[in-house]
Amino acid sequence: MQITDIMAAQARYARCIDTDRLEAWPDFFTEDCSYRITTAENHRLGYAAGLMWADSRGMLEDRVAALREANIYERHSYRHVLGLPLMEEEGPEGLRSETPFLVARIMRDGATDLFATGRYLDLWRSDAAGAPKLAERIVVCDSSRIDTLLALPL
Amino acid sequence: MPDHNLPEATPFAGLTAPPEVPWPEGLTRVPYWVFQRDDVAALEQSHVFRGDTWNYLCLEAEIANPGDYRATTLGGVPILAVRDQDGEIYAFENRCVHRGALIALEDFGHAREFTCVYHAWSYDLQGNLKGIAFKDGINGQGGMPECFRMADHSPRKLRTAVVHGLVFASASDTVPPIEEYLGDEVMDRIGRVLAGREVEVIGRFTQELPNNWKLYVENVRDSYHASLLHLFFTTFELNKLSMKGGLIVSESGGNHVSYSAIDREAEAKAKAASDYAAQNIRSESDYRLKDPSVLEGQDEFGDGVTLQILSVFPGFVLQQIQNALAIRQVVPRGSGRTDLHWTYIGFKDDTPELRKMRLKQGNLVGPAGYVSMEDGCVGGFVQRGVVGASDRHAVLEMGGTDAKSTRTRATEASVRGFWKAYRQCTGL
């Protein structure tokens, strides 16, 4: 995997969420993936709980189904702006990278706010076709504060 | 001829102007102005949070060792909760008696003593002033006057009480002891989850709510809304007919427990019946969870209770939703905003399987929770909905007019209970 492969995957990931194609979002992950949204303070203290916490792609699909069918929240969208990924050496478990993000939240009435900043701590593995998939994504938000609610994934 | 020089006979001394409309008698009406006015918010800080109430500060486990401290607020006032060398927990105002600066700046920490950064006045772990920099001056010049006695100048101290590992404090000298304040039933229900357990924090998050704090604590006590607003369990056909539940409201009205449990008798009967399948709730939904392991929790307390939401007036919540345990602390930020502090907990002796289940079921709760994210926005819907309606009121008649314990959760009894305690505290 080259840095350009990771950057391309990140760009597709951001567009997938920002254009409301959430049904395709689990496809960025491996079957036995781990996905967690936490905060810098929790991460530093080693606290394992997450705002969202999944250890299978099925749980990500359930998250999307719940958002579509069950949960109630005001319509809104995100705009992800991603920084450059910092790549680590590729090891036996895969390739690790760290990518900073900014996410603005646009409410149905047009109100736009900076919703979250943070970094993705990722573990990438190639699928059968050689495409990078997320075996692990820990979303570490810089702030411990969440405004109103967290519905769409980061 | 009325004497206009006499003060108002109605008890609105704490407000800057009389309310838009009087508060109707009884517990079934709540005027919307109570969610909107800054003078009400100020009155609440002094009469509710700093009044005759017990307020949650932190977990005992968060200040486990002598010198450990937690900085928080009570009624807007900065407070330190500290464990001293004697093993006891003390709480005092986090404000230097010299010029008013904060004594401790971090939310959590460890100290042998506290020293104000401004002029280095220092305090022991019980909050006694112990040192003044250059007290005797320099080369015989300056310094504090002879008559200044440090013992007369200490930050205000608060009463503290520890209940099954929960640290509470009160700014009141007249509030009853915590056991009496909570009532036996609420004490027992706290003990059911926490008694004799070694708590471990597994996560901390703060949710900023776009509404008055009372709209959130009403929501917590509102057992009526649960299956109507939160559709997750219904959509995925996870509701069971064989559930029983109830509501406990403390004598004061202010504290409550809402619970539901598997009704083993009904379950056994249903199983015995040949048409067992027909007894399950049918819904229009075709949705099923891809990974239903999120709901394969353990009956860790051995009583079949899958949900217990417990509140203590004014702003404390203890939550058990299956194996997801959390403390919620409700902190007002003016009349229109609220900080909701979540502390997710487990126990030191959790098996790896149980701990993993807590993490997994963490998805049910918190700012992104399947059965709680709606609570983050619904208070805002009310806050925005009642703009311009300060002369109108909410209706709380579900399940009657009183604030008593009941076997059903289709009631607003504990919401009425909150207002009973609130009006008692504020005189509104």
Question: pLDDT for A67-126, tens place per residue?
Answer: 999 999 999 999 999 999 999 989 999 999 999 999 999 999 999 999 999 999 999 999
- pLDDT of B21 reads 94
Residue A50 and residue B207: Cβ atoms within 8 Å? Answer: no
Cα–Cα distance between B40 and A61 in angstroms, integer? 45
What's the sign of the alpha-carbon dihedral B350, B352, B354, B355? positive
Q: Name the CA dihedral angle for B228, B231, B234, B237, rounded to a multiple of 10 degrees.
A: -170
Cα–Cα–Cα angle for A138, A139, A143, rounded to 5 degrees: 135
Q: Which residues of B touch A63 (CB under 8 A)?
A: 363
Judge whether B371 and B232 are in contact, CB under 8 Å: yes
Note whether A2 contacts B: Cβ–Cβ < 8 A. Answer: no
Question: In chain B, which residue's Cα lies nearest the Cα of A35?
Answer: B360
Minimum distance, in Å, between the CA of residue B3 and any CA atom of chain A? 49
The confidence band for B272, taking pLDDT boundaries of 50, 70 and 90, is low
DSSP 8-state symbol, B58: E
Digit-coded pLDDT (tens) for B351-366: 999 999 999 999 999 9
Q: Which of B285, B362, B370 sits opposite A50 (nearest CB)?
A: B362
DSSP 8-state symbol, A49: -
What's the sign of the alpha-carbon dihedral B234, B236, B242, B244? negative
Q: Which residues of B touch A53 (CB under 8 A)?
A: 359-360, 362-363
Digit-coded pLDDT (tens) for B91-121: 999 999 999 999 999 999 999 999 999 999 9
Residue A146 and residue B231: Cβ atoms within 8 Å? Answer: no
- pLDDT of B269 reads 72
Residue A50 and residue B289: Cβ atoms within 8 Å? Answer: no
Cα–Cα distance between B427 and B359 in angstroms, integer? 43
Residue A47 and residue B202: Cβ atoms within 8 Å? Answer: yes
Q: Which residues contact B393 (CB under 8 A, 6 or more apart)?
A: B21, B24, B29, B30, B31, B32
Q: Which of residues 152-211 of B touch A (CB under 8 A)?
A: 201-210
User: B308 forms bridges with which residues in the sheet?
Assistant: B259, B320
Note whether B42 contacts A: Cβ–Cβ < 8 A. Answer: no
Instruction: Say what the ipTM of the complex is.
Output: 0.97
Q: Which of B232, B344, B373 sits opposite A151 (nearest CB)?
A: B373
Cα–Cα distance between B49 and B74 in angstroms, integer? 6
Minimum distance, in Å, between the CA of residue A96 and any CA atom of chain B? 24
Minimum distance, in Å, between the CA of residue A37 and any CA atom of chain B? 10
